[in-house]
Amino acid sequence: MDCRVVVEAAVPVYDVETPDEAVRIAISKTGGMLNPDLSYVEIEMGSRSSPAGEELEPAFIVADEALVALELEMTVFSVEREEHAARIARKEIGQRLENIPLDVLEIEILESDDEAEDDDDIVTDEDDTSDEDDASDEDDGDEDLLPEFDELLEE
């Protein structure tokens, strides 16, 4: 099973005056810490809300220092449970973002490509079988050029 995991990070930024500046610097700083090892992690501006439900800026600024909420999204492959995917994402991201608190926001199970390809292969195999039967009736001499798969296994 493959999962898409979204992790929230609280990134400290120094010497900033506006929330937009703080977000830009936080995204740049986080990208620098994650790259090149985790270049597949998507970094986006996070969202915050007050206890009353009011939307707030993603950056909280006091005395030219900010704490910025960022969302880091990554896909984790071949896991057994959602909890396993969350632990892997937190470990991989947390190793590169030292002293930055992380919290798992969302885990989404992705449809694996193998399942979709298996459905397509079933239809394709049925269509190809009829074509192969017609071709084998016409060209019986071609069978001597390439050995059958079973023959290769027996040798």
Single-letter code of the amino acid located at 85:
A
- Compare 48 and 112 and report the one with higher pLDDT: 48
Is 3 within 8 Å of 85 (Cβ atoms)?
yes
Question: What sign has the CA pseudo-torsion 130, 136, 139, 144?
Answer: positive
How many angstroms separate the CA atoms of 83 and 76, rounded? 11
Residue 62 pLDDT exceeds 80? yes
Inter-CA distances, 92 with 44, 48, 125, 131, Å: 17, 24, 40, 49
Burial class (CB in 10 A: 0-12, 13-18, 19+), 70: buried
Name which of 61-65, 88-92, 95-99, 126-130 the model is least confident about.
Answer: 126-130
Name which of 9-18, 36-45, 50-59, 106-115 the model is least confident about.
Answer: 106-115
Chain mean pLDDT for the chain: 81
4 is written with which tokens?
């898409």
How many angstroms separate the CA atoms of 124 and 35, rounded? 41
- Residue where the block lists tokens 């030292």: 98
The H-or-E segment that residue 55 falls in is strand 55-56
